[in-house]
């Protein structure tokens, strides 16, 4: 039997939590927590299970930002501080519309923002998209990972996604559409990738391709 992806949903709104859980459960193994503290406790217990750390941890976390006690940013900071948990991709769930808030998350290695309220059909479609993107990222790809690992300032997960598409010689428009991000933010990320890789022009990314 094919292994099902596992998803953790974290949201203090129990109605929203149950609705998302019911939508995703027919297709994925779903874990749920109604607070940041409970989510971290659940993840730590899962990681500590003998022989199950790699297979039982979620493949994706859907994380609400605005929660009492411990908000999404604090949860993210805790994940980043834990070697076993920091590699789990996170998508923020948010009703916030402030562009600075969105930029804050995306520069903290968050995979994406999913605006609330979100329709359940859209949720299902986006989760499939995220998991496909995660699977593509986990493959060796065309970039030389040893060269990337040796960078003075490493690429974030989102910047790596952009670099991989740049290595496929995708246009900014294609990158924007494939990663579901705005054109201004795409151009900003392309500029950051070029700077971190020391590229004078875009085509120079060839030097980072696998030989």
Q: In terms of domains, do 123 and 157 share one?
A: no
Q: In terms of domains, do 64 and 153 share one?
A: no
Q: In terms of domains, do 27 and 101 share one?
A: yes
**Final residue belonging to a domain, choices 106, 138, 170:** 138
Q: In terms of domains, do 134 and 199 share one?
A: no
Q: In terms of domains, do 77 and 34 share one?
A: yes
67: left (phi over 0), alpha (psi -120 to 50) or beta: beta
Residue 140 and residue 118 in contact, taking contact as beta carbons nearer than 8 Å: no
What's the pLDDT score for residue 53?
44
What's the pLDDT score for residue 99?
63
- Residue 105, domain CATH: 3.40.50.2300
What's the pLDDT score for residue 173?
86
- Alpha-carbon span 135 to 184, nearest angstrom: 26
What's the pLDDT score for residue 184?
92
Walk along the chain (211 residues) in steps of 10 and give the mean pLDDT of each run: 86 94 96 96 78 70 93 92 88 75 62 87 91 67 81 90 85 85 92 93 84 68
Question: Using omega within 30 degrees of 0 as the cis cutoff, is the peptide bond preceding 37 cis?
Answer: no
Residue 174 is assigned to a structural domain of this protein: yes
Residue 154 is assigned to a structural domain of this protein: yes
**Final residue belonging to a domain, choices 79, 106, 138:** 138
Residue 1 is assigned to a structural domain of this protein: no
Q: In terms of domains, do 151 and 118 share one?
A: no
What's the pLDDT score for residue 104?
62
What's the pLDDT score for residue 140?
42
- Residue 198, domain CATH: 1.10.10.10
86: left (phi over 0), alpha (psi -120 to 50) or beta: alpha
Domain that holds residue 85: 6-138
What's the pLDDT score for residue 207?
86
Q: In terms of domains, do 29 and 106 share one?
A: yes
**Final residue belonging to a domain, choices 138, 154, 179:** 138
What's the pLDDT score for residue 37?
95
């Amino acid at each position: 039997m094919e292994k099902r992806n596992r998803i953790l949903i974290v949201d203090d709104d129990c109605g929203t939590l149950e609705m998302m859980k019911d939508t995703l459960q027919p297709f994925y193994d779903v874990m749920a927590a109604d607070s940041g503290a409970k989510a971290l406790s659940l993840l730590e217990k899962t990681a500590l299970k003998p022989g199950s750390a790699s297979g039982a941890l979620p493949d994706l976390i859907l994380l609400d930002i605005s929660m009492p006690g411990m908000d999404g940013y604090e949860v993210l900071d805790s994940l980043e501080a834990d070697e076993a948990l920091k590699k789990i991709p996170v998508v923020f769930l948010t009703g916030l519309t402030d562009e600075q808030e969105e930029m804050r998350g995306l520069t903290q290695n968050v995979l994406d923002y999913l605006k609330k309220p979100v329709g359940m059909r859209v949720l299902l479609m986006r989760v499939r998209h995220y998991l496909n993107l995660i699977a593509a990222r986990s493959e060796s790809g065309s970039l030389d990972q040893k060269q990337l690992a040796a960078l003075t300032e490493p690429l974030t997960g989102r910047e790596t996604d952009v670099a991989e598409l740049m290595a496929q010689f995708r246009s900014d428009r294609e990158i924007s559409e494939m990663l579901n991000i705005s054109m201004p933010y795409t151009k900003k990320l392309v500029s950051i990738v070029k700077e971190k890789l020391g590229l004078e022009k875009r085509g120079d990314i060839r030097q980072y391709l696998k030989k």
